[in-house]
Chain A
Amino acid sequence: MTFLSYFISGLSLGSIYAIIALGYTMVYGIAKMLNFAHGDVIMVGSYICFFAVSRWNLPPVVGVLLAMILCTVLGVTIERLAYKPLRSAPSLSVLITAIGISYFLQNAAQLLWTSNPKVFPSVVGDGSVKFFDGRLSISVITIVTIATCVVIMVALTWFTSKTRMGKAMRACSEDKGAAQLMGISVNHTISVTFAIGSALAAIAGVLLSSAYPTLMPTTGSMPGIKAFTSAVFGGIGSIPGAMLGGILLGIIEIFSKGYISTQLSDAIVFAVLIVILLVKPTGLLGKQITEKV
């Protein structure tokens, strides 16, 4: 029974990592950049939803939609001002810019909304489904998160493989130059990718804050790093990989806490990660690229 309840805890933690990792991997897959500011866009999304629901008493659905719209605007603005001028720059310069954006968002959030933590309202509902006379319970938020993850994963996979824009995205990720020659606007495609990634960040923010409802300007940074880890774990760039990586990371984290040691759980999680990457050097579902000689 303890095993099952740990498993479910792992699943709920993992589903949160997974939903953040989806946004990460999406942007990485197309734009080939590690968007370290992703976690902070998530934080902004959570704050917007918090203000909409708690302060202005709007219905939760409106709050979530508002967060998605404003995050999309924010994401596109960041992309336009900070990333677009660096399209031809080395990837590390873009990485540093993303870190700059991350600092900027955190500090701006602190100035705007103070560093006092706020408790996120229950947007999703906080009941739970119980089994075995209440000895095992799954919270509604976990079910919603996993369902959302699956929906987003399927939708993104469909989008990138079937639609015109999706095909353009894959073309850009394969070879920017060739895509340009085929009449695809690379700049526009990447901007759209960021818009989608930011909207996903808003959803992830709402779900993250619903599951763990203390909201601070630094709320997004640690889940951001964990999600980045999950995305690499699953094979960065792979959409199902991000989801698998996130959920596995959550389960490993909870199991190492439960069965080995709470003190060493961080070290164990990362050690498992290293071991898995040793066996599968491109992550669980990553593409095995054979080098041409």
Chain B
Amino acid sequence: MKRIGKRLRSNLVIYGLVVVTYVVLQMVMGSGHISSSLQGQLVPICVYVVMAVSLNLTIGVLGELSLGHAGFMSVGAFTGVVACIALEGIISLGAVRMAVSMLIGAACAALAGVLIGIPVLRLSGDYLAIVTLAFGEIIKNIINCLYVGIDHRGLRISFLTSAAALELAEGGRVIIDGPMGISGIKKLSTFTMGFALILITLFIVLNLIYSRSGRAIMALRDNRIAAESVGIPATKYKMMAFVTSAALAGAAGTLYALNYSTVTAAKFNFNTSILILVFVVLGGLGNILGSIIAATVLTILPEMLRQFNDYRMLVYAVVLILVMLATNNDDFKGLLYQIRGKILARNGTKGKEGAVNE
């Protein structure tokens, strides 16, 4: 009974923090005291939070290193936008159309997750990492050669040619134009949509972690052989975590793509996958709240560093290294423990949450 209480409380902290942040930001925006710079970053922050939380499911909870998470984002982004444009005449309400597009984006990314999950399950460690990296590159390359258009006959798809090969009828529109990606997207993403997606993501991920399946997944992470020996089907649970993670990344991809008027396959490259990996590691493996905070901070940080002009990315690199060194430094840890000890002494039992699944 006590365990459930503790878990509930730690979950409530996460939900609470997200909701409070949203409400505060909405109030600030309502009063007009927000810079364009920060306002413009709200949707990308939501996207990266969802990406980080979903990747944490693969890395922290399932315990497998993925270097191709941006690939799922890419699948979600492109299928989501194609769906959104195709549905333009059918669903007129923007928010509903976007929600449907996100669902389609998530479904397609989940499908990609199943496809890539089959080889992933056979491998482990760095070999698995390289397969996910390879997957990300393959997706990027394929979308660069893909042409999709729409006219009154429906969607038309052509591969390895050019937009002209689509032979669109009068009034048709090219949607994906190979390396040019999609341009002229109507901006539908809003902060509220992003916030809703974060809540849904948290709901799915936290419920999965604390379910029977979640315990099975973590058992596989901690000791696969022991887990299998007590009859946990490794394939099923690994697949479950991996595909869920992919689907959420797909939804985030749709949200991302609908926030800008253009999206190209080149955006979702190895560097983007690494960026999200950095969020997860910095926030702490398996730590959902940590991922949320790290994604937020590291998305805002490069913008805050603009005053350094040319030295901006250099400073960013130094900050990254120093943070990694500090979080693993014993003296620094000792200092934090002391601070934490003092807070604990003052608040009694209240400081007992934190570690989600140690």
Q: Do A and B come from one complex?
A: yes
Which residue numbers of A lie inside 8 Å of B, CB to CB?
34, 82, 85-86, 88-90, 92-93, 95-97, 99-101, 103-104, 107-108, 111, 225, 228-229, 232-233, 236, 261, 263-264, 266-267, 270-271, 273-274, 277-278, 281-283, 291, 293
Instruction: Knowing A111-B311, A267-B141 are in contact, say whether A104-B131 is a contact too (CB < 8 A).
Output: no
B117-133: CB near A (< 8 Å → 1, else 0) gives 00100111011001101
| Chain B residues whose C-beta falls within 8 Å of the C-beta of A281 in the assembled complex | 122-124, 127
- Check if B138 sits within 8 Å of A271, measured CB to CB: yes
Task: Compute how far the CA of A271 lies from the CA of B140 in the bound complex, rounded to whole angstroms.
Answer: 13
- Check if A93 sits within 8 Å of B324, measured CB to CB: yes
- Closest Cβ of chain A to B327, distance in Å, is 7
Task: Compute how far the CA of A86 lies from the CA of B281 in the bound complex, rounded to whole angstroms.
Answer: 14
- Check if B317 sits within 8 Å of A103, measured CB to CB: yes
Interface size range on B against A: 35 or more
Q: Which residue of B lies closest to A222 (CB)?
A: B270
- Closest Cβ of chain A to B282, distance in Å, is 7
**A-facing residues in B196-254 (Cβ within 8 Å):** 225, 229
B81-97: CB near A (< 8 Å → 1, else 0) gives 00000000000000000
Dominant SS among interface residues on chain A: helix
B133 touches which one: A93, A103, A229 (CB < 8 A)?
A229
Task: Compute how far the CA of A145 lies from the CA of B160 in the bound complex, rounded to whole angstroms.
Answer: 35
Task: Compute how far the CA of A266 lies from the CA of B142 in the bound complex, rounded to whole angstroms.
Answer: 9
- Check if B311 sits within 8 Å of A90, measured CB to CB: no
Selected A-B contacts with CB under 8 Å, 28 pairs? A85-B328, A89-B328, A90-B285, A92-B281, A93-B324, A95-B281, A96-B281, A99-B278, A100-B320, A103-B320, A229-B130, A236-B126, A236-B127, A263-B144, A263-B145, A263-B160, A264-B141, A264-B145, A270-B141, A271-B138, A273-B131, A274-B134, A274-B135, A277-B127, A277-B130, A283-B127, A291-B225, A293-B229
- Check if B313 sits within 8 Å of A107, measured CB to CB: yes
Q: Does B337 contact A (CB under 8 A)?
A: no
- Closest Cβ of chain B to A173, distance in Å, is 14
| Chain A residues whose C-beta falls within 8 Å of the C-beta of B135 in the assembled complex | 270, 274
Task: Compute how far the CA of A101 lies from the CA of B278 in the bound complex, rounded to whole angstroms.
Answer: 13
B126 touches which one: A34, A104, A107, A291 (CB < 8 A)?
A34
Instruction: Knowing A92-B281, A103-B316, A281-B122 are in contact, say whether A264-B160 is a contact too (CB < 8 A).
Output: yes
Q: Which residue of B lies closest to A105 (CB)?
A: B317
- Closest Cβ of chain A to B136, distance in Å, is 9
Q: Does B151 contact A (CB under 8 A)?
A: no
- Check if B274 sits within 8 Å of A99, measured CB to CB: yes
Dominant SS among interface residues on chain B: helix
| Chain B residues whose C-beta falls within 8 Å of the C-beta of A291 in the assembled complex | 225
**A-facing residues in B43-99 (Cβ within 8 Å):** 59, 65
Q: Which residue of A lies closest to B179 (CB)?
A: A263
Q: Does B277 contact A (CB under 8 A)?
A: yes
Which residue numbers of B lie inside 8 Å of A, CB to CB?
59, 65, 119, 122-124, 126-127, 130-131, 133-135, 137-138, 140-142, 144-145, 160, 225, 229, 270, 274, 277-278, 281-282, 285, 310-311, 313-314, 316-318, 320-321, 324-325, 327-329
Task: Compute how far the CA of A225 lies from the CA of B122 in the bound complex, rounded to whole angstroms.
Answer: 23
B123 touches which one: A88, A103, A229, A277 (CB < 8 A)?
A277
Task: Compute how far the CA of A150 lies from the CA of B138 in the bound complex, rounded to whole angstroms.
Answer: 31
- Check if B138 sits within 8 Å of A270, measured CB to CB: yes
- Closest Cβ of chain B to A111, distance in Å, is 6
| Chain B residues whose C-beta falls within 8 Å of the C-beta of A88 in the assembled complex | 328
- Check if A261 sits within 8 Å of B130, measured CB to CB: no
- Check if B325 sits within 8 Å of A97, measured CB to CB: yes
| Chain B residues whose C-beta falls within 8 Å of the C-beta of A82 in the assembled complex | 321, 325
Q: Which 5 pairs between the two chains have the least Cβ-Cβ distance?
A: A270-B134, A103-B317, A104-B317, A267-B141, A100-B320
| Chain A residues whose C-beta falls within 8 Å of the C-beta of B160 in the assembled complex | 261, 263-264
Residue among B134, B229, B282, B328 with max Cβ neighbours from chain A (10 Å):
B134
- Closest Cβ of chain B to A276, distance in Å, is 10
- Check if B65 sits within 8 Å of A92, measured CB to CB: yes
B131 touches which one: A108, A267, A274 (CB < 8 A)?
A274
| Chain A residues whose C-beta falls within 8 Å of the C-beta of B320 in the assembled complex | 96-97, 99-100, 103
- Closest Cβ of chain A to B358, distance in Å, is 14
- Check if B142 sits within 8 Å of A267, measured CB to CB: yes
| Chain B residues whose C-beta falls within 8 Å of the C-beta of A111 in the assembled complex | 310-311, 314
Task: Compute how far the CA of A108 lies from the CA of B134 in the bound complex, rounded to whole angstroms.
Answer: 29
Known pairs A96-B282, A108-B314 / 17 extra A-B pairs, C-beta < 8 Å: A82-B321, A86-B325, A86-B328, A88-B328, A93-B324, A96-B278, A97-B321, A99-B274, A103-B317, A104-B321, A111-B311, A229-B130, A229-B134, A232-B130, A263-B141, A263-B145, A267-B137
